[in-house]
Structure formats: C-alpha cells, structure tokens
Structure 1
Amino acid sequence: MCRRNPPGNPPLDPPGAVIRSVALRMVRRLADRPQPVSALTSVVHMVENDETELAMDDIGMLIQYFRFPVLRSEYEDLVHAARLLDSLDSLTDTGVERLVIDG
C-alpha cells in the first residue's frame, strides 16, 4: 500500500502525486532490476522535495535510458501529469510511447 502523501510534508501538487504514484508502481514492477529501481526512487524523492517538473523530465529520460516497458496505464498517467505541467515534451522527446505495452 502506498501513502498518498509523505509524512511531515505538505500535500503534493496533482502532477507530483501522479508522477510519484507511477514511479512507485514501476519500482514494484521492476523490483528485480536494481539500477532502474534506484533511479526511479530518486524520482520519488524529487517529487517529495517539490521538484515535480524535474521529476517529470527525469522519469522520461530514465525510461528511455533503461528501455524498460511502460504499462499503458502508467503511460496515460504520465501523459496526464505532463499535460498538467505543460511538459508533454518530457515524454515525446524521449520516445517513451515506443516502450508502452498493454497489461
């Protein structure tokens, strides 16, 4: 079960909450791949430290670099967060859509 908001921190902004949720889902799904898990954990920390836009950029670059599959639901959530941040290029410039799988 994942917490909605890190303890002791103010509530996350809507795109931050979405990015954090997606990153945590990916961490659980990729548990057998320590490098992407470590990198995705840093995305969670960025969001928790009010660096949502940087986290959006970073998650797109991590997906591209490690080339791990992205579930369609994860991708749709990331697109939603990117639109809220007016930062869709974080996903399109890195070609994340090529790694989307159904599941």
Structure 2
Amino acid sequence: MCRRNPPGNPPLDPPGAIIRSVALRMSRRLADRPQPVSALSSVVDMVENDETDLAMDDIGMLIQYFQFPVLRSEYQDLVRAAQQLDSLESLTDTGVERLVVDG
C-alpha cells in the first residue's frame, strides 16, 4: 500500500507518486540494510519536495551503487515513471536492468 501524500503538501505528479511508491517498497524490503534505506528515504524526500527529475536520477544511481536486487514489478514501475519524465537514461545509463530479479 502506498502512503498518502503528507498533509499540507500538494498532490504528487504521476511519475513522482510512482517513484515514491517504489522507493518505499524497496525500503521495506531492504529494512535490514540501513545505508540503502537511508538513501531511499532521501529519494522520497526529493519527490515530496517537487524534485521528481532529480529523484529519478538518484534512485537509478543508488541502485547501481548499492547493487541491491530490484524486483521486476519495481523495475517496470520505474521504467513507466522514467518514460513519463522522458529520462529513461536514468535507468539505462546506470545498468539497473541487470539487477532485476523475479519476485
């Protein structure tokens, strides 16, 4: 389940909502790894501060840096957000697709 937008903040744009949702799902899944979870929380903060493009770039870079597995459903959602932002290179340039696993 995706958390609602924090009270007092305007609704998130569609790609921002997707990125936020994926970052939160990854955080729950990686709860035993504090460094990636902290980095993912910064992605959520970027989205909530209307920095969706930056959040898209950052999530691709942190997946590459921490080398954690990305569920196929998470990857598909990120691709959809990247297409909406016209920034598919955020995922392709960082090689995120090679970390995709079924699950």
Which residue of 2 is the match for residue 14 of structure 1? 14
Say whether the 8 Å CA contact 1:4–1:17 is kept in structure 2: no
What is the deviation of 1:8? 1.1
Runs of 5+ in structure 2 lacking a partner? none
- Post-superposition CA distance 1:40-98 (Å, at most 9, x none): 00000000000000000000000000000000000000000000000000000000000
Say whether the 8 Å CA contact 1:18–1:77 is kept in structure 2: yes
What is the deviation of 1:7? 1.4
User: Which deviates more, 1-10 or 92-101?
Assistant: 1-10
- The number of residue pairs the alignment matches comes to 103
Runs of 5+ in structure 1 lacking a partner? none
Which residue of 2 is the match for residue 98 of structure 1? 98
Percent identical: 88
- Letter of the 1:53 partner, please give it: D
What is the deviation of 1:6? 1.7
TM-score after normalising by structure 1: 0.98
Pairwise CA RMSD: 0.7
Indicate yes or no: 2:63 matched with 1:63. yes
Which residue of 2 is the match for residue 84 of structure 1? 84
CA distance in 2: counterparts of 1:5 and 1:76, whole angstroms: 22
- Structure 1 SS opposite 2:41: helix
